[in-house]
Amino acid sequence: MRLAVISDLHLDINQINEEDALNEMAQFLLNQQIGVFVLAGDTYNHLKDTAAFAEKLSARLSPVTKVYYLAGNHEMGDKTPDQVLESPLDAHYLHRKSLDIGDYRLIGNNGWYDYSFDDGRHDEALIHRFKQSFWYDRRIEEVLSDNSRAARSAKQIQEAVLTAKAAGQKPIMITHFSNDQQLIDQLPFSRPELTVLKAFLGSKKLGQQLIDLQVPILVSGHVHWQQEPHRVQQTTFYNVSLGYRTRRIHEWRQGDFFQEWRERLLILDL
């Protein structure tokens, strides 16, 4: 079966007409005979919009392609309570769910960040103050510290990976936030004081944990930076973010959203 994953479409910020997106994506996914399609977060700035988009796309693709989504920080920023984000929500929400594809098991989790990508360069209290003053995620309901929230997610992931292995399935992990140290290391920052932002990109601790567990495939988004897949020991890391093209920010290689989408879409034959 073919699996396709993309993240950070930011359909609202990129000003993409929803009907056009549904038509283009449905046609391409059907042509490619994709069995499972995952939107790995930051599809819209509101969870309701992302859920509705997944439902509409699913209606067009059923029964050939199953459609799933995760919540990125942009969906979470609509003030959806943490308790709701942690709940099963609907049939398409992949967070804390697993799905068998042949001898692989797809494991979905939104993920979180624990400041481990900062490597202790900044004081934790300072990082948190920076977040609450300037960062997009100040909008997200904060019921736990970032560290505890990341630990909760890592525990959910570890349990799912161990359960998959016990069942003889090979885990494929999909998260919104990054676990990829090599990706974070190559990010350029225009001003040194902005390197504090690395703290909010994900968890290198979780990445190491998944390498140690010999998870063969890790897919994530959130970091709008294009990098070829790379391997650490037995784990291959993929970043599938599409990113922004606005008047101020130009992150695409192609001039057209749908060209960019086709190019960034990760397709794996399982």
Q: Write out the residues near Fe ion by the rule CB under 5 A.
A: 8, 42, 72-73, 222
- SS3 label, residue 160: helix
Per-residue burial over 65-104, b = 16 or more CB atoms within 10 Å of its CB, e = otherwise: bbbbbbbbbbbbbbebeeeebeeebeebbbbbbbbebeeb
- SS3 label, residue 66: strand
Tell me the closest approach of the beta carbon of residue 100 to Fe ion, in angstroms.
Answer: 27
Between CA 70 and CA 268, with CA 76 as vertex, the angle to 5 degrees is 20
Tell me the closest approach of the beta carbon of residue 242 to Fe ion, in angstroms.
Answer: 8
Partner residues linked to 36 by β-bridges: 3, 66
Tell me the closest approach of the beta carbon of residue 243 to Fe ion, in angstroms.
Answer: 7
Which residue lies nearer to Fe ion by CB, 105 or 222? 222
Which residue lies nearer to Fe ion by CB, 71 or 164? 71
Tell me the closest approach of the beta carbon of residue 221 to Fe ion, in angstroms.
Answer: 7
Which residue lies nearer to Fe ion by CB, 36 or 39? 39
Residue with tokens 């093209």: 245
Which residue lies nearer to Fe ion by CB, 66 or 202? 202
Please count the CA atoms within 13 angstroms of the CA of 37 that sit on its side-chain side. Answer: 26
Q: How many angstroms separate the CA atoms of 167 and 120, rounded?
A: 38
Which residue lies nearer to Fe ion by CB, 41 or 171? 41
Distance, CA of 178 to chain centre? 7
- SS3 label, residue 235: strand
Tell me the closest approach of the beta carbon of residue 30 to Fe ion, in angstroms.
Answer: 26
Which residue lies nearer to Fe ion by CB, 141 or 163? 141
Tell me the closest approach of the beta carbon of residue 74 to Fe ion, in angstroms.
Answer: 6
